[in-house]
Structure formats: structure tokens, C-alpha cells
Amino acid sequence: MSKKIANQFEKECPICGGKIWGRGEKVIIEGARITVCQSCAQFGVKIKSKPKVTATSKKLYTKSSVKKRVHRREIEESVEFVSDYAIKIRNARNARGFNQEQLNLTPS
């Protein structure tokens, strides 16, 4: 069979070697996306094509004149230093029965 493609209507099926009439069927066979003939399409999973969007089918949207109000909360940040921080962490870790390695592996 010739590998030369005369036009889009005379393609060769990569599975059976026969001619593909029309567009053929786009399928996934063993992870590869290929176009095959109608009879070989049963050996793969058909790929559904998305409908083409034309300029006339697109809707034109305008921004509404009403603006959304954003409520921002005032967050007061404060930093407090604790002198015995390491001791508090160790006591909390021991209360839960964790060692340092187990505490490291727990998600926060």
C-alpha cells in the first residue's frame, strides 16, 4: 500500500492498511491517538470531538455597572515572644506521645 496521501479522503488505516473514507474515527489504542477506519475503531476508545465555536455563536458579555463591594477586615497582627518556647513544644509533643521524628511527619 502506498504511504502517499492523495487528499484527505484517501487516507490509509494504520491498523489494517485499508482506505479511510471521510474523516475516519479518532481513537486511542494502547495510549496512542490515531485516526483509523470504521472497522478498526472498535479496537480503541473513541475520542469525542468538541464542537467548533464560531464568532456568531459567541455571546458578547458586558461588565455590569454594579461594582462588587469588597469588605476588608482589619487584622491586628501582634507578635509575642515566649522565653520558654522550646519547653512548651517539648511538653505538648510528649503529651501527645510523639517523638521529634513523628512530630516532623505529621501534617500541620
pLDDT tens-digit readout, 30-59 = 888 999 988 888 888 888 877 666 665 556
Within a domain: 90: no
Within a domain: 76: no
Within a domain: 33: yes
Within a domain: 97: no
Within a domain: 100: no
Counting the structural domains of the chain, the total is: 1
Characterize 9-40 residue by residue with b for buried, 16 or more Cβ atoms within 10 angstroms of its Cβ, and e for exposed: eebbbebeeeebeeebbebeeeeeebbbbeeb
SS3 8: coil
Q: Residue 32 belongs to what domain range?
A: 11-46
pLDDT in tens, 60-80: 566 566 666 766 777 777 888
